[in-house]
Chain A
Amino acid sequence: MTPLLSVRDLRVGFGRNPAANEVVKGVSFDLAPGETLAIVGESGSGKSVTALSVNRLVDFGGGRITNGSILLQRSDGSTLDVAKADEKVLRTIRGRDVGMIFQEPMTSLNPVHTVGAQIEEAFRLNRGLHGADAERAALEVLERVRIPDAKSRLAYYPHQLSGGMRQRVMIAMALASSPRLLIADEPTTALDVTVQAQIMALLAELRAETGMSMIFITHDIGLVAGIADRIMVMQHGLAVEQNTTDAVLDNPQHDYTKHLLNAVPHFTSGKAVRADGERAATSEPIIKVDDLVVRFPVKKGLFKPKGAIHAVDGVSFDLMPGETLAIVGESGSGKSTTARAILGLVEKHRGAIAAKAGRSRRPIQMVFQDPFASLNPRLNVEALMAEPAIANGQKLDDALRDRMRFLLDRVGLPADVLNRYPHQFSGGQRQRLCIARVLMLNPDVVVLDEAVSALDVSVQARVLDLLVDLQREFSLAYLFISHDMAVVERIAHRIAVMYAGQIVEIGEARSVLADPQHSYTRRLISAVPAVERRRQHFAVDATQVPSLVRPAGYEPPPANWREAGRDHRVRIEETK
């Protein structure tokens, strides 16, 4: 069969001298009709540029195709070399033969038009449908991407929809023209795991329904196992390996592919949890949180009654010295707000947070998610490291500098970095710097708020190892906040699952991961992408997180718990 797309020796460069600044250095691949190719690589590997060359969107980003051919078979049977086509012809390809969905569903929809109008526009441009015809087509396609209550959603503006819904709308727009090829550029990276699973399932079903080909770009090699027929691994602008999915995953040939596969955190349903840190019944908790409630008032206008977002609603747990409690949940579940309330960064509405007096005046410290935002760009490492000590009455002297050097060395940074500035470090190094900084005060508890989420997978694994070592060495307790089950499995002793502001399941890590009791925990665990779970099909599930905005005076019903084993408690679900 003739391939739908045939790329030969593609080279793309940027800047004034594209030949000298090559980002893609000679990539070739074929894509048969109905086939899905996954392009995998870390940031900067040229995977997006390769895919954007196929519809020549790369031109608008300042890129130039310097060499090679991109032969695309069009719907009328003719073959076109995209690499040499002019803009007028390209416009007829984009949207019609080649559809595209992007990473950020927030920014790729126009905020001032309703989603209905935007989908109708796609139909008008690509199929020439007008008025009622376009509206009917828009409704049809929204139903095809399984948006519940599609008719009323047509009148919604993008900001009224959740991230997952917006990505569905984007997919609907791409489908408007029944493209023969769909390019998906990291379509689920900005989404939560359960939403990611929904979108992946949707893409797989749509592909089966329409028989279109797909190019799926991702940095997560675990994610492609379920959807791709072939995998191309890219590094530094070169395709280092390409073969069928099974061959790449089971029998990787290139070192970089092996490295990527090793770095992916494998989720093993509780088999890989830490064996240390047995809970002693006698010890006293270092933090005890009791019925914590955090609410943010919502103003609805002058005369309307005020409601509140119940961000955290009646959360209780305790943390023993030297223990890791992981709080997992999706965005909006209240896990970060819980952490911020413990540190006093947001005000609590009600409840008690009792911290035992520790080794220093400030026994609880925090490492933030984004290592680029949590360091003041205008201060050098010495000033950054000195800040916690100065804030607690110490002087910047040689003894303090010795402690800085000791800690920097301990987290794996060279000792001569004291005069450098944050922008001179990579993301992983910056996060190490943040970790060293919170250790300056010799804390008892470190709150890690998605501390490894922003890092590339291979860096992530090393930082996790470092955290485990530091925990033993400095006898730290961690409150580890994450959405990533595979990461949590490696570091947690105990796990608390949060959903809609409440803890729904809490207990020993092995027990929670191996034998989840609450329906939400089960959903969270089944959504974790894994290399092992190939060809496992997810049912398309459109469950939405309930709104947390409550009218004034609303109190949630009291929680009922049941024991599901030694140190494993589950909230009893209301039967509907």
Chain B
Amino acid sequence: MSKLFRAFLRHPSGRIGLAIISLYLIAALLGTLGLTPRDPLKLFAIDRLKPPSANYWFGTDLLGRDTFSRLMVGIKQSMIIAFSSVALATLFGTIIGLLAAWWGTLWDGILMRIMDVLLAFPAILLALLIIAIVGPGTATSVVAIAIVYTPIFARVVRGPALSLKQRDFVDAARTFGSSQPYILSRHLLLNLVAPLAVQVTLALAWALLTEAGLSFLGLGTQPPTPSLGLMLAESKNLMTQAPWLMIFPALTIMLGILGFNLTGDALRDILDPRTQRREA
């Protein structure tokens, strides 16, 4: 584990990505514990639409709420949704991909065609459809984003699982009479950890973006709870008077996505045995 961490510190983009994610996680943690500079929900009516200053670092909004504090809580909200939806997508995608590869033929056809249908819809459209049926809210956006990204994990797992299934060590396990769960977990899943880890980090970036999009449309987190997408939506009518209301949430989203993407790229380089050999 410490070896992996040191490899990250050696990797130029991994270093930056890791720093950004750590920063976001700290902000989210402080936001959860209520350790924001000001109460994100409290209205400071006399300080409406103040530009950034020493007092209000990122300025205030139309109702006089502190943008910096609201951003911290918004990051927390985004992180919770991104992490839990990706966790769900990884779980279901891995199971579907593994079983499709393992059972093969008919099941492979059925499961992967369903995944193809899901994949054919643009992510935000599919999420819209699900939310339109179930109704908006934090839990719904988690489920919606999870469903959108499940097919990607199913595909990432199925390909290598199909080739692993043909390997001699799986045949050897069969001759010992090893149980199917044992073969699936020990021989297939263990060898899939590297591609999965890369995919998880990249999916976190997309999930962050999708969540912001849904909130922007008013379908994700509901007010008054602050969220990055919602803050963007509220700022769009005040773009000329109070540009800081748009700039800071937008930058926060962008930087978050960049952080996860850089980490994913670094992870791919580090876990790729071919690049390791070049270093050695």
Residues of chain A touching chain B, judged by Cβ–Cβ distance below 8 Å, are 340, 343-345, 361-362, 364-366, 368-370, 373-379, 383, 387-388, 390-392, 434, 437, 441
**B105 interface residue (CB < 8 Å to A):** no
CB atoms of A376 and B176 under 8 A apart = no
CB atoms of A345 and B171 under 8 A apart = yes
CB-nearest residue of chain B relative to A366? B175
Residues of chain B touching chain A, judged by Cβ–Cβ distance below 8 Å, are 167-169, 171-179, 182, 186-187, 190-191, 193
Task: Give the Cβ gap from A337 to chain B, nearest Cβ, in Å.
Answer: 13
CB atoms of B178 and A370 under 8 A apart = no
CB atoms of A376 and B171 under 8 A apart = no
What is the bound-complex CA distance between A441 and B173, given in angstroms? 13
CB atoms of A391 and B173 under 8 A apart = yes
CB-nearest residue of chain A relative to B171? A345
What is the bound-complex CA distance between A167 and B92, given in angstroms? 49
A368 contacts which chain B residues (CB < 8 A)?
Answer: 168, 171-172
CB atoms of B173 and A387 under 8 A apart = yes
CB atoms of B191 and A378 under 8 A apart = yes
CB atoms of A376 and B191 under 8 A apart = yes
CB atoms of A366 and B186 under 8 A apart = no
CB atoms of B190 and A378 under 8 A apart = yes
What is the bound-complex CA distance between A315 and B193, given in angstroms? 43
| Sampled A-B contacts (29; CB under 8 Å) | A343-B175, A344-B174, A344-B175, A345-B174, A345-B175, A365-B176, A366-B175, A368-B172, A369-B168, A373-B168, A374-B169, A374-B171, A376-B169, A376-B186, A376-B187, A378-B190, A383-B186, A387-B173, A387-B178, A388-B176, A388-B177, A388-B178, A391-B173, A391-B179, A391-B182, A392-B176, A392-B177, A434-B172, A437-B172
Task: Give the Cβ gap from A440 to chain B, nearest Cβ, in Å.
Answer: 8
What is the bound-complex CA distance between A387 and B169, given in angstroms? 11
Output the residue of B173, B179, B193 with the most chain A CB within 10 A. B173
CB-nearest residue of chain B relative to A391? B178
Interface of chain B: mostly helix, strand, loop or mixed: helix
Give which listed residue, B169, B172, B175, B179, contacts A362 with CB less than 8 A: B175
What is the bound-complex CA distance between A441 and B175, given in angstroms? 11
What is the bound-complex CA distance between A25 and B177, given in angstroms? 51
Task: Give the Cβ gap from A380 to chain B, nearest Cβ, in Å.
Answer: 11
CB atoms of B190 and A379 under 8 A apart = yes
What is the bound-complex CA distance between A377 and B169, given in angstroms? 9
What is the bound-complex CA distance between A388 and B142, given in angstroms? 42
Task: Give the Cβ gap from B157 to chain A, nearest Cβ, in Å.
Answer: 16
Q: A390-B182, A391-B182 are in contact. Are A375 and B177 (CB under 8 A)?
A: no
Task: Give the Cβ gap from A376 to chain B, nearest Cβ, in Å.
Answer: 5
Task: Give the Cβ gap from A322 to chain B, nearest Cβ, in Å.
Answer: 21
B177 contacts which chain A residues (CB < 8 A)?
Answer: 361-362, 388, 391-392
CB-nearest residue of chain B relative to A378? B190
Task: Give the Cβ gap from B169 to chain A, nearest Cβ, in Å.
Answer: 5
CB-nearest residue of chain A relative to B169? A376
A375 contacts which chain B residues (CB < 8 A)?
Answer: 169
B182 contacts which chain A residues (CB < 8 A)?
Answer: 387, 390-391
What is the bound-complex CA distance between A304 and B175, given in angstroms? 37
A344 contacts which chain B residues (CB < 8 A)?
Answer: 174-175
CB atoms of B175 and A365 under 8 A apart = yes
A340 contacts which chain B residues (CB < 8 A)?
Answer: 171
What is the bound-complex CA distance between A373 and B166, given in angstroms? 10
CB-nearest residue of chain B relative to A346? B171
CB-nearest residue of chain A relative to B191? A378
What is the bound-complex CA distance between A364 and B182, given in angstroms? 20
What is the bound-complex CA distance between A343 and B168, given in angstroms? 13
CB atoms of A366 and B172 under 8 A apart = yes
CB-nearest residue of chain B relative to A375? B169
CB-nearest residue of chain B relative to A370? B168
A373 contacts which chain B residues (CB < 8 A)?
Answer: 167-169
What is the bound-complex CA distance between A362 and B173, given in angstroms? 12
A388 contacts which chain B residues (CB < 8 A)?
Answer: 176-178
B190 contacts which chain A residues (CB < 8 A)?
Answer: 376, 378-379
What is the bound-complex CA distance between A84 and B47, given in angstroms? 80
Q: A377-B191, A378-B190 are in contact. Are A391 and B176 (CB under 8 A)?
A: yes
CB-nearest residue of chain B relative to A367? B172
CB-nearest residue of chain A relative to B182? A391
What is the bound-complex CA distance between A483 and B65, given in angstroms? 81
What is the bound-complex CA distance between A111 and B58, given in angstroms? 63
Task: Give the Cβ gap from A570 to chain B, nearest Cβ, in Å.
Answer: 33
B186 contacts which chain A residues (CB < 8 A)?
Answer: 376, 379, 383, 387
What is the bound-complex CA distance between A441 and B171, given in angstroms? 16
CB-nearest residue of chain B relative to A374? B168
A345 contacts which chain B residues (CB < 8 A)?
Answer: 171, 174-175
A374 contacts which chain B residues (CB < 8 A)?
Answer: 168-169, 171-172
Task: Give the Cβ gap from B30 to chain A, nearest Cβ, in Å.
Answer: 38
A434 contacts which chain B residues (CB < 8 A)?
Answer: 172
A379 contacts which chain B residues (CB < 8 A)?
Answer: 186, 190
B187 contacts which chain A residues (CB < 8 A)?
Answer: 376
Q: A375-B169, A379-B190 are in contact. List 6 more A-B contacts (CB 8 A).
A: A345-B175, A365-B176, A368-B168, A374-B171, A388-B178, A434-B172
CB-nearest residue of chain A relative to B172? A374
Task: Give the Cβ gap from B131 to chain A, nearest Cβ, in Å.
Answer: 40
A390 contacts which chain B residues (CB < 8 A)?
Answer: 178, 182
Task: Give the Cβ gap from A446 to chain B, nearest Cβ, in Å.
Answer: 11
Query: Which 6 pairs across A and B sit closest by C-beta, in order of nearness?
Result: A374-B168, A388-B176, A391-B178, A373-B168, A368-B168, A391-B176
What is the bound-complex CA distance between A335 and B177, given in angstroms? 23
A441 contacts which chain B residues (CB < 8 A)?
Answer: 176
CB-nearest residue of chain B relative to A423? B273
What is the bound-complex CA distance between A361 and B168, given in angstroms? 22
What is the bound-complex CA distance between A521 and B175, given in angstroms? 31
B172 contacts which chain A residues (CB < 8 A)?
Answer: 366, 368, 374, 434, 437
B176 contacts which chain A residues (CB < 8 A)?
Answer: 362, 365, 387-388, 391-392, 441
B168 contacts which chain A residues (CB < 8 A)?
Answer: 368-370, 373-374
B178 contacts which chain A residues (CB < 8 A)?
Answer: 387-388, 390-391
CB-nearest residue of chain B relative to A441? B176
Task: Give the Cβ gap from A89 to chain B, nearest Cβ, in Å.
Answer: 32
What is the bound-complex CA distance between A376 and B189, given in angstroms? 11
B175 contacts which chain A residues (CB < 8 A)?
Answer: 343-345, 362, 364-366
A343 contacts which chain B residues (CB < 8 A)?
Answer: 174-175
